[in-house]
A and B are shown apart, each in its own frame.
Chain A
């Protein structure tokens, strides 16, 4: 008997007209690793909710069809029966905190206490999961005082510790540094081998291709195809469905590397490397023309949070003239640095000068026209009742009239592709869309400096494309763009200069291509080379190896 079975599932959110899920049917066996791919509004999160019972038990609305877990129907079971078997890791880790515990370790214990485990067992499982997710060093910290990526690690640890039979993960690595993301996939794969059934929605197609047994391709609430990764990613219409195939497949298509008998393309690095071809390392990273822009100068900057942890150690950097990427491990202090630049936090020592204004002599509000910051967690940024009002707030408070503000807001909503959602409640749109609302609401103020904190988080192909356009456009208008990122491909595609941070220090500052060629820096900052670099490097090594006598 299949472990999880979905039959003709249909669902519509309350007060909505379109179906969020439309006639979905598939089965999953015990220990299988199923990936869910699809564009931002394809219904991935809703499908996850339906499997763990939140749809229809928490989110009401119109429901049809059946979801069966071990033969028991979700609709007729109680929610606590379903959740005792199905563990669910939220898209936004903040939403998953119990709010009842005050240290990281206790937060993990919350679920275990509800399971009624013995103390010894709990301590063992807590230590285990802390170790797996690499968060032992912060186990005594308050869960609400973590960086985005640390919180995501905690969210994963707290569900894995409960050892559910079925584990549903909704973009669990969206805020993790590259090595952290790889570790999570390895952990999940190991759990699958041990017999846990895995269902994971993810935008990192290279990872889905490498780790899943099967992939469900969703589009506008419908299941387009249920097949193995190479079948799914060899489709010709993927981009039209809003899904970018793994980079390996794109390269293979470009070079015509196809197994002639089956018409399927390689989808993982290993498969790609079975072919003979040559790809130059040159031209892999972009360099944009320098512009004269605003200048940020940080001098000997240090910062500690009130709980005493020293987060930044005498950082000195100058930022100007070209789009700049900031990368580095979770908890390195990236978000803290940009909050200091925006004067939301005050340095413990040192100073920040923005175009000859000392940040200490001004306020965040006065800086609003100069510096715009898009927050890492969009939910921390959004507070209005409709999307339009949200985007209008900035212009209204920088002295524009209502009509002008509305015009500017609509223009920016257009740019991020959310014009048709202007009248909706921001809480009714997806997390990725909320992130774009955050982008629009800052751009509407037309600041001189725009800082994005992880803009690509959870974005699909279209969303990333839009962001690239927006960044190029801003740069061409002479604005200074700074971007914190965990998506190394995006970094290489867009930015000529990269700053690598680790443990509150700047490890490297210079041309992007160089940032990735220092192996020790990559290791220390928990980053990885962009996929194209990896491929080119491996090909080069192979050639070098062959050429030796």
Chain B
């Protein structure tokens, strides 16, 4: 288990690991907006392809898979609901017994799927190649208050923290005879006794953390300093400008046509 962070360390780094967090943040923003502004499948697919190639360039493509599979449940339900129940039902795509799948619904569902996938991948570009503390650090040095920075960091940490905690509790439970390994059904069954403890423990841990912060002087009123100087990123300005231009032109094009 990689503990407490989704960030993937690469010994030699990658162009994406070296890119500054703000540029990547702007990329996420641009990519997600464009995928919603454009409405045809092909262009959204293109946007998704860009995000995926970036993941490959960052040598982290493999690590997006578990995140996608977590969102899969969500995606599948979108697909089903849209596919079966979208109001514009005209063209029948499939008919399986009493169930009819309509082309319009499916088409929209597919578009949404592409957009969500792109969102996950674009966020992946940021999250998998950026240390969360570095991201927050950059924002703080751009003027975000350190307190708010800590809150933001905690939000970014919710998922990995829950994963770690769940792992610990599962270890303790299977050490005492609750089966958690094996078929899908066994895994689903073992999920229920986890819920209560995970909530209980994360409350306890949050409390512990806040004690730790107090004791480590987090609430001191004096001026804070930071250990790391954020390295200026050579191509930061150019890339950000490029992203801004792309975003603007897509929006303008969309309004015009």
Contacts and interface: CB of A to CB of B under 8 A. Distances in A.
Contacts of A159: 216
Contacts, number: 167
A57 B214 CA distance: 10
Contact of B225 (A58, A117, A158): A117
A364 B174 contact: yes
Interface in B71-106: none
Nearest to B172: A381
Interface of A: 52, 54, 57-58, 79-80, 83-84, 87-88, 90, 95-102, 106, 109-119, 122-123, 126, 142, 144-145, 158-159, 162, 306-307, 342, 344, 363-366, 368-369, 372-373, 375, 380-385, 393-394, 397-398, 427, 441-442, 445
Contact of A306 (B2, B150, B217): B2
26 contacts: A58-B214, A79-B214, A80-B220, A84-B217, A95-B208, A99-B4, A99-B212, A100-B133, A102-B4, A102-B5, A106-B133, A111-B216, A116-B220, A118-B225, A119-B225, A162-B216, A344-B175, A364-B180, A365-B178, A368-B176, A368-B177, A380-B171, A383-B169, A397-B176, A397-B178, A398-B177
B193 to A, nearest CB: 9
A142 B214 contact: no
B182 interface: yes
Contact of A442 (B154, B176, B204, B217): B176
Interface in B108-161: 131-133, 150, 153-154, 157, 161
Contacts of A112: 225, 227
Given A364-B175, A397-B176, 13 more contacts: A80-B220, A87-B215, A99-B212, A113-B224, A113-B226, A114-B220, A116-B225, A158-B216, A365-B179, A368-B177, A383-B201, A384-B197, A393-B178
Highest count of chain B CB atoms <10 Å: which of A99, A111, A427: A99
A394 B175 CA distance: 8
Nearest to A393: B176
Size category, B interface? 35 or more
Contact of A368 (B175, B200, B214, B226): B175
Select the residue from B169, B176, B219 with max chain A CB neighbours within 10 A: B176
B238 interface: no
Interface of B: 1-5, 7, 9, 131-133, 150, 153-154, 157, 161, 164, 168-169, 171-182, 197, 200-201, 204, 208-209, 211-229
A95 B212 contact: yes
Nearest to B218: A114
A113 B147 CA distance: 13
A365 B212 CA distance: 34
Given A113-B226, A122-B225, A363 B181 contact: yes
A52 B133 contact: no
Contact of A102 (B131, B220, B223): B131
A80 B217 contact: yes
B202 to A, nearest CB: 11
A112 B227 CA distance: 8
Contacts of B168: 380
A57 to B, nearest CB: 8
B172 A383 contact: yes
A8 B6 CA distance: 50
B135 to A, nearest CB: 11
Contacts of A54: 211, 214-215
A398 B198 CA distance: 22
B221 A80 contact: yes
Contacts of A363: 174, 179-182
A118 B223 CA distance: 11
A476 B225 CA distance: 60
Nearest to A89: B215
Contact of B177 (A99, A122, A307, A445): A445
B211 A58 contact: yes
A452 to B, nearest CB: 13
A195 B235 CA distance: 51
Contacts of A342: 175
A363 B175 CA distance: 9
B227 A109 contact: yes
B4 A144 contact: yes
Contacts of B171: 344, 364, 380
A114 B208 contact: no
B173 A383 contact: yes
A385 B171 CA distance: 18
Contact of A101 (B133, B161, B177): B133
Given A58-B211, A99-B157, A366-B179, A307 B224 contact: no
Given A368-B175, A394-B177, A144 B211 contact: no
Contact of A383 (B4, B5, B200): B200
A123 B4 CA distance: 25
